[in-house]
Chain A
Amino acid sequence: MNGVPLFAYLSLGLFMFTAGVVGVIIRRNPIVIFMCIELMLNAVNLTFLAFARYMPAMIVQPRGLHSATMSGQMMVIFVMAVAAAEVAVGLGIIMAIFRLRNNIDIDEMSLLRG
């Protein structure tokens, strides 16, 4: 889509990232905290793709220009894969904690303190 400035995509990404950060600080339900982390990861994905389209790296590699101009999209693929693995393990941890204590208020999880 032509005619949309880079600034628009970046400001949306920044807004989503800030919303995710505020959500991680404010919320007490660990599942919602996880969802805010996913929101932050998606904001970063949007930023990567916006830069890949508007300001791609123009470094000439020995094998051609390919790997530099496509590097933004490659980063997004790997961020998606890592986020998927992280969600699986993290939700498993939350379920294990819930099975143990029957309560998932994050402010009560102070076992590591003191």
Chain B
Amino acid sequence: MDVSQLSPANLGLFAVVGGVAALAAIGVVAFPSAVRSALCLVVNFFMLAFLYFTLNCEMLGITQIVVYTGAIMVLFLFVIMLLNLGAPQALIERRDLKWIGGGIFGLALLVVVGSQVLQPLMKVTQVKSEATFGSPQQVGLTLFSDYVYPFEIVSVLLLIGIVGSILLAKRRMQ
């Protein structure tokens, strides 16, 4: 890695934000309570939005905050509240064999992918896109000119999702 290209201030900022995001990701998996996992995931999404801002993708950073933390995580928290798993009913998750197997699998995945994919990319430090490539103008221009067919199909997909979730939540007509 070319050390002269690195900037210690930006690296420090990335380390702080990325560190909080990584700790929150561990928290999602590790907390026994579902509410605490959900709140850790909210923290993780906020840190990710900040990282998107550092990558010059402002439109997607705001979309991350609005869609993921503002809609999806609120939906999760509502469902956790509605299902109301109180303390006697709370799932006690202590299957040791699964934990050991999961841990070994995770470690193996990390090592295999890290060694094969990350190793050749260690030297990339040069930014190759312009500074405005994530602005709403650019994103809108591309989305509505080159990617208009996927855009329309995704809106149909969201309609299907809405109809499906309403149907699933309806009580049966007795």
User: Footprint of B on A, CB under 8 Å?
Assistant: 1-12, 14-16, 18-23, 25-29, 31-32, 34-36, 38-39, 42, 45-46, 49-50, 52-56, 61, 63, 66-67, 69-70, 73-74, 76-78, 80-89, 91-96, 98, 104-105
Taking the closest CB of chain A, its distance from the CB of B12, in whole angstroms, is 10
Residues of A contacting B48 in the complex (Cβ-Cβ under 8 angstroms): 42, 45-46
Contact residues of B with A, CB < 8 Å?
1, 5-11, 13-14, 18, 21-22, 25-26, 28-29, 34, 37-38, 41, 44-45, 48, 51-52, 54-57, 59-60, 63-64, 67-68, 71-72, 75-76, 79-80, 82-83, 85, 91, 93, 95, 98-99, 101-103, 105-106, 109-110, 113-114, 117-118, 121-122, 124-129, 133-134, 138-139, 141-143, 145-147, 150, 154, 157-158, 160-162, 164-165, 168-169
Q: Which of A20, A21, A45, A96 contacts B169 (CB 8 A)?
A: A96
Instruction: Please state if A55 and B124 are interface contacts (CB–CB under 8 Å).
Output: yes
Contacts of B129 in A (CB 8 A): 52-54, 56, 69
Dominant secondary structure at the B interface:
helix
When C-beta atoms are compared, the residue in chain A nearest to B84 turns out to be A98
Q: Which B-chain residue is minimally distant from A11 (CB atoms)?
A: B118
A/B interface sample: 21 pairs, CB < 8 A = A2-B127, A3-B11, A6-B121, A7-B1, A7-B121, A7-B122, A20-B25, A26-B93, A28-B91, A32-B34, A38-B72, A45-B48, A52-B133, A55-B128, A67-B147, A80-B67, A84-B161, A85-B158, A87-B75, A93-B168, A94-B83
